[in-house]
Amino acid sequence: MSAEASAKAGVAPAVRATPVARKMAERMGVDLAAVPGGGAAGKVTKEDVLRAPTAAPGKLIPLSPMRRIIAERMLESKRTVPCYYLEMDADVTDLVLLRNEMNAQAAAVPPPPGEPSLRRPDKITFNDFVLKACGMALKAFPIVNSRWVEGVGIQRRGEVNVGFAVALDDGLLVPVVRNVDRRSLRETSAASADLTERARAKKLTPAEFQGGCMTVTNLGMYGVRSFIPVVNPGEATILGLGAIQDRVMFWRGGIEVRKMMALTLAADHRLIDGAVGAQFLEMIKDLLEAPQRLTE
């Protein structure tokens, strides 16, 4: 139905807006219908939302149960977990090429009859490679795969479980891929795709976002180059992923444009000394720079 027909029928026309603009408007209390669109064909962009007036001053927005839990856990982390932060740049040029190649090959082969689509996800994401790299690094560094038990000691974990942040309209969830060290890259990808879909549909069971050993959080899709994440209570580390950017680099005696990604590790200093944290992050970086090792 056209905007003119909608007006005659007494129905408000749908607002054309980018997905990021919709999320930002909801969080800022901005009425999209009142925002002039500056994008293509009048589509509302995030820049348009930022320029728009926000909700009336003094308006109190009640806390949702999810937001209340997030606030409590983040406050607990900041109060009780003494973190330090490490950052490295990973050259993911080969990873990008390998991912594109693997996804192209998978798309060319239809799944066998009766095989669940879950086991053959449409694509492997960059996050999947990182989850697998983290699982391998946790296996190699048992002290990182531990948690602090106040007044008792350091508890080594018997599993290698890696959580990943999934943004929702009213907050975020961290579903956990279990036993990542025992899964292939494609199995890790299938598990993360299933968990992401059910997290967005709010169909996860409590057990599926508990028991994480570390968390991966990615803001690269929003153009963020790097950021400092907050460790989830009960875990020892969290890894923040920035945007993959083309940079001019010295490479093998010449100059090339390489694809680089910033990795930022927050680590609990009660458990992990700086040198160990640096070696742990370096292993993740090395695995991402030699991505064939993640497919073995």
For the annotated catalytic residues, the residue numbers are 269
Instruction: For Cα atoms 68, 199, 227, give the angle at the middle one, nearest 5 degrees.
Output: 65
The size of the chain, in residues, is 296
Helix pair angle (93-108, 274-289), 10° resolution: 50
| DSSP H helices in the chain | 3-8, 19-28, 46-51, 65-80, 93-108, 126-140, 185-200, 274-289
Q: Which residues sit opposite 147 in a β-bridge? A: 155
Q: What is the DSSP letter of 250?
A: E
Q: Amino acid identity of 39?
A: G
The torsion of the CA quartet 18, 23, 25, 28, rounded to 10 degrees, works out to: -150
